[in-house]
Structure 1
Amino acid sequence: MIVQKRALIIALLAVFCSVQPAEAGVLTPPENIIKASSKDYPNVKTRHFQGISSLAVSPEGRIWVTWYGGPTPSEDKNNYAVLATSGDNGKTWQELMVVDPDGPGQLRAYDPQVWLDPQGSLWWFWAQAVAYGDRAQTWAMAAENPDDKAAGWSEPFHIAQGVIMGKPTVLKNGDWLMPVSDWAGRISRSPNAATAAAYISESEWAGESFTLLGTALVPIKDRSFDEHMIVEKKDGSLWLLARTKYGIGESFSEDGGKTWSRVSPSDIKHPSARFFIRRLNSGNLLLVKHGPINEKTGRRDLMAFISEDDGKTWQGGLMLDERKKVSYPDGQQTSDGKIYITYDCDRYGEKKILMAVFTEKDALAGEAVTEDVRLRVVISKNPSPKPYEPALPEPAAPYAADKFDFDDNSNESPVNFSRPAEVKPVDGGDIDTLEIGARIWSNRKYVFSVLPEKIKGKKFIRSKIEKSKAKAESQGYVYVIGKQKAIEEELLKQGFEKTDIPQFIPFAVKGQGSYYRYDTVSVYQKYVEKGDTIEYGKWGITLVSRS
């Protein structure tokens, strides 16, 4: 009966959300749940991205951790959710399976979460979406025996529209509140879109039905990914904490989550990143965040604090990991008082998923005072990280010249190739030849499909698309192929001038789209002195010398 109800809900969602054929997969159970024993399992050695982990511990102490990764260094259609477990208190770990909704297709699985419910069942949540940032749907599988590695998982079933990035909160009356974020409002930038939502699974039907209860409005100027968590305070009110652009925002509900105050800045200083808050066995609150309570740091100095007055003040501050690039804490306290926290480190480099173990006493003291403390326990990492080398696509057929209304730039400055400066890349980048089929940027698959004859054969810096920086090793002219309406104003302010080389569109990827007018470029030039720096943002291509 429950399965039939869920199937009906999915069908209704497909109608009310006006899902297009390409997006229908978000409302369809994933086709690919790949066991680690399968020859098709995506081994960690093939991953160029992994992070955003979540942790839960079974009643008998089996640890479960989930995160997501992919074969490309990006949050994109290739992402899949990973599930791993340890039966020896974290000494060894075994990956069990991944959810990859449609294999190499457009659907991605991401932002997974594991949670132990009051009855001792383990829940594995993940989001499915067509592309990064698109409207998502949360799916789940439940296991009735999480003490066993096999666990006995259910078939995937639908939970809610949106993303669950924090653990559910079980209220005193037995209701479950699920923190769901609907990013559609964030994308559409509608001033009336309330993104930080609370779904309810009422105690009588806990785990069987989930309905939208209420939403907290995040002002559009502050809106980030929400990643909110809900605490039931001792007076019965609800306290919602959410990630915003400025750090941690807060909202309150006095009617069980039906209505919420507008999200506004909290007193907790924090960067725009996920944090973790949870009620402990003692009744005190645990907060894991970056840096001291009253300092806004970057994604480093992951610390644990305790509040004995329901969040008014915070004490202690156990340093879990002081390194840079540590982020996204999540965890659980077990019945013996141990606190288990997972987080990631260097998602695109070593790609580590880590765990810290401590107690409330350690967090309150701000140092290890018990023998239970274990830090930087490795759950997963790439054993031999190598730079990502994307396969080069074939260049698309050149566009018809009469298809676009190009400017011929005949009234612009004559290009001067008589005295080119010698230019070398700064902060990475390599040098290649301007020719059809050459890859343009080190972190994108685009290749040159069209080049004017005047610049063919010249050298250029292959940098990342987001930023280019180079230094002149001699006097002379430096040239930049720049996207108009993107960096033209930036180049002109730096003293560059547009040349008389006609506009063109340098690339299109075969099988991945067509040429678009907004990718039109011109060639700019500037006379520089030895030692001058050439630097600009997204996107352009710097020429370095004569052919």
Structure 2
Amino acid sequence: KTWSFRGGVKGIQGSSSADENMVVELGDGSLMMYIRTTIGIEKSYSYDKGYTWSDAVNANITKTVSRFFLSKLDSGKLLLVYHNPPAKDGSRSYLTASISEDDGKTWKGNLIIDERNGVSYPDGFQTKDGKIYVIYDRNRGSDMEILMAVITEEDILAGRIVNPESRLKVLVNNNGKQPPKTPEELKNTGITPTDGGQVAVLENNKTIFSNRSESRVFVNLPKKFHGMYYVYSELEYSSARIDKDGDVYIFTKRNNGVVSLHGHLTFLGFVQDKSVEPFRMFDQATGEDTVVYHKRCKAGEEISFGNWVVIAYKP
């Protein structure tokens, strides 16, 4: 019915936006608080039930500024679900579950729950049978997905799924949108990569090139391209065979008004799609924008390009 102030934490100088904090009770009865800030996760301790707290220090766990999930399991071990991108670039990718057996001094296991970009805001609980349910969202502005993972301590400590009943990336809700295409469905799209790439569905927040950072993703796609297929391949080379007659669109760079591939594209029969205004394909672009060329291709045609080209296709 009533609330009163008990205590507060002094954050690290220079950091800000201390919010979405989580507190667990440790084995000796003290409290440990993890705090989301602009440098990642900070931590603080209280030894008097929360009346006073130590000055916050960097937990040195992640640079990603996003909500995490911290909880004490029935075994007494601690569970942390957080972002752990290999590039350490602060992207909301590689949602990872780790376990501490020493009250948060060290973390082990590192089970990757979802490696894709745009995954965030995990929460969870443990049932009496030991299963750990983690729920999170993905691309809330576009895919609008709510997903779930069902895992165990054994899975986390092994760094992989070892329990036959465990599951990852279970779609709970996507705001009524059509479910994403399965790998089997993507085998019969009408276009086949010939450079070791794969077919994917065009949408914002999808990674553009397979050998570049997870943070280099589509961010400003014109609406007409949403839902088309594209060849997900390395930045340096992209090629494909057309299996069914269809429209092929080439995304390429324009630097200071000049399209270096204009001559080659024209020779191949492509024409600039003037209905599409030049756009920034990804938010790290500095002085360049993207223009689109189009051609109606026949089954059996093969196309290949070098650096910085995306091949899109609509049957």
The TM tier, using the shorter chain, reads: 0.5 to 0.7
Q: Deviations over 1:81-124 (max 9, x none)?
A: xxxxxxxxxxxxxxxxxxxxxxxxxxxxxxxxxxxxxxxxxxxx
1:362 equivalent to 2:155? Answer yes
Q: Deviations over 1:306-336 (max 9, x none)?
A: 1111111111111111111001111001111
Number of the residue aligned with 2:41: 248
User: Structure 2 CA distance, aligned partners of 1:384 and 1:356?
Assistant: 20
> Counterpart of 1:349 in 2: which secondary structure?
coil
Number of the residue aligned with 2:111: 318
State the shift of 1:363 in Å.
0.7
- The one-letter code matched in structure 1 to 2:32 is W
Q: Contact 2:25 / 2:32 at 8 angstroms: preserved in 1?
A: yes
State the shift of 1:212 in Å.
2.4
- The one-letter code matched in structure 2 to 1:360 is E
User: Structure 1 CA distance, aligned partners of 2:87 and 2:93?
Assistant: 15
1:472 equivalent to 2:248? Answer no
CA 1:427 to 1:241, structure 2 compared with 1: closer, same or farther past 3 Å? closer
User: Structure 1 CA distance, aligned partners of 2:80 and 2:30?
Assistant: 19
User: Structure 1 CA distance, aligned partners of 2:122 and 2:39?
Assistant: 19
CA 1:258 to 1:325, structure 2 compared with 1: closer, same or farther past 3 Å? same
User: Structure 1 CA distance, aligned partners of 2:113 and 2:26?
Assistant: 26
CA 1:429 to 1:376, structure 2 compared with 1: closer, same or farther past 3 Å? closer
Q: What is the percent sequence identity of the aligned residues?
A: 44
User: Structure 2 CA distance, aligned partners of 1:241 and 1:335?
Assistant: 26
- The one-letter code matched in structure 1 to 2:161 is A
Number of the residue aligned with 2:72: 279
User: Structure 2 CA distance, aligned partners of 1:335 and 1:377?
Assistant: 21
State the shift of 1:534 in Å.
7.5
Decide which structure has the larger Cα Rg and report it. 1
State the shift of 1:429 in Å.
6.8
1:349 equivalent to 2:142? Answer yes
CA 1:328 to 1:230, structure 2 compared with 1: closer, same or farther past 3 Å? same
Number of the residue aligned with 2:8: 215
User: Structure 2 CA distance, aligned partners of 1:294 and 1:322?
Assistant: 12
Q: Contact 2:82 / 2:97 at 8 angstroms: preserved in 1?
A: yes
> Counterpart of 2:66 in 1: which secondary structure?
coil
> Counterpart of 2:157 in 1: which secondary structure?
helix
> Counterpart of 2:17 in 1: which secondary structure?
strand
Q: Contact 1:269 / 1:296 at 8 angstroms: preserved in 2?
A: no
Q: Deviations over 1:48-94 (max 9, x none)?
A: xxxxxxxxxxxxxxxxxxxxxxxxxxxxxxxxxxxxxxxxxxxxxxx
CA 1:312 to 1:295, structure 2 compared with 1: closer, same or farther past 3 Å? farther
1:260 equivalent to 2:45? Answer no
> Counterpart of 1:361 in 2: which secondary structure?
helix
How many pairs were matched up?
194
Structure 1 length normalisation: TM-score?
A: 0.33
State the shift of 1:470 in Å.
8.8
> Counterpart of 1:212 in 2: which secondary structure?
coil
- The one-letter code matched in structure 1 to 2:257 is A
CA 1:428 to 1:305, structure 2 compared with 1: closer, same or farther past 3 Å? closer
User: Structure 2 CA distance, aligned partners of 1:369 and 1:214?
Assistant: 42
> Counterpart of 1:310 in 2: which secondary structure?
coil
Q: After TM superposition, list the pairs within 5 Å mapping 1:496-535 onto structure 2.
A: 533=287
> Counterpart of 1:300 in 2: which secondary structure?
coil
Q: Which moved more, 1:252-261 or 1:289-298?
A: 289-298
State the shift of 1:273 in Å.
1.0
- The one-letter code matched in structure 2 to 1:303 is T
Q: After TM superposition, list the pairs within 5 Å mapping 1:70-469 onto structure 2.
A: 209-219=2-12, 221-291=14-84, 297-384=90-177
Q: Contact 1:285 / 1:310 at 8 angstroms: preserved in 2?
A: yes
CA 1:259 to 1:296, structure 2 compared with 1: closer, same or farther past 3 Å? farther
User: Structure 2 CA distance, aligned partners of 1:308 and 1:321?
Assistant: 23
State the shift of 1:347 in Å.
0.8
User: Structure 1 CA distance, aligned partners of 2:9 and 2:86?
Assistant: 24
Structure 2 length normalisation: TM-score?
A: 0.55
Q: Contact 1:270 / 1:289 at 8 angstroms: preserved in 2?
A: no
- The one-letter code matched in structure 1 to 2:97 is A
User: Structure 1 CA distance, aligned partners of 2:148 and 2:11?
Assistant: 31
User: Structure 2 CA distance, aligned partners of 1:427 and 1:344?
Assistant: 21
> Counterpart of 2:155 in 1: which secondary structure?
helix
User: Structure 1 CA distance, aligned partners of 2:6 and 2:221?
Assistant: 50
Q: Where does structure 1 differ by over 6 angstroms across 4 or more consecutive aligned residues?
A: none
Measured on the aligned residues, the alpha-carbon RMSD in Å equals: 3.1
Greater relative contact order (Cα < 8 A, sep 6+): 2
Q: Deviations over 1:465-497 (max 9, x none)?
A: xxxx995369xxxxxxxxxxxxxxxxxxxxxxx
Q: Contact 1:248 / 1:268 at 8 angstroms: preserved in 2?
A: yes
Number of the residue aligned with 1:443: none
What are structure 2's unaligned runs of at least 5 residues?
179-202, 204-218, 224-253, 260-285, 290-315
Q: Contact 1:268 / 1:294 at 8 angstroms: preserved in 2?
A: no
CA 1:428 to 1:358, structure 2 compared with 1: closer, same or farther past 3 Å? closer
